[in-house]
Amino acid sequence: MAGAEETASINLTAELRLNLEEGKTAVLRYSESGEAFSLDIMMVPGRFRGHGIGSLLVRRLLFMADALHKPVLTVARPLGGGNSPDALERLVRYYLRFGFQPVHRGLTTVHMRRPSSASSAPNPPTPENET
């Protein structure tokens, strides 16, 4: 049985994967420490963007974090040639929808934090109960 000291030193890295059509996969990589979760990177193939796939993955991570009463940290940083101020602002607005708030702004990145929500959904988001 793990003691409180061992739980505080947890450092887990994992990923959520969603298999799509045509052999494509959407991936959200995250880390968990004793204090917080970190959304490290999310990749949704271009043809599948704008269909709620990224939102499904983010909500699943938030559900896990809320269940453990931990905040989620991320760094908004456009990848794949979208390194413009407009691309960064679109990404920041995307994370704001999930309750993330900016904590530090740089020229090409914005560090963001979402506190744990006391009112997490009773069931984790799935493609079947997604609206």
CB-based contact 56:111 (threshold 8 Å):
no
Give tens-digit pLDDT for 43-82: 999 899 999 999 999 999 999 999 999 999 999 998 765 6
Structural domains for the chain: 4-114 (3.40.630.30)
Buried b (16+ CB within 10 A) or exposed e, 9-41: eeeeeeebebeeeeeeebebbbebeeebbbbee
pTM: 0.81
Distance CA(73)–CA(101), nearest Å, equals: 9
> Which tokens go with 42?
């999310």
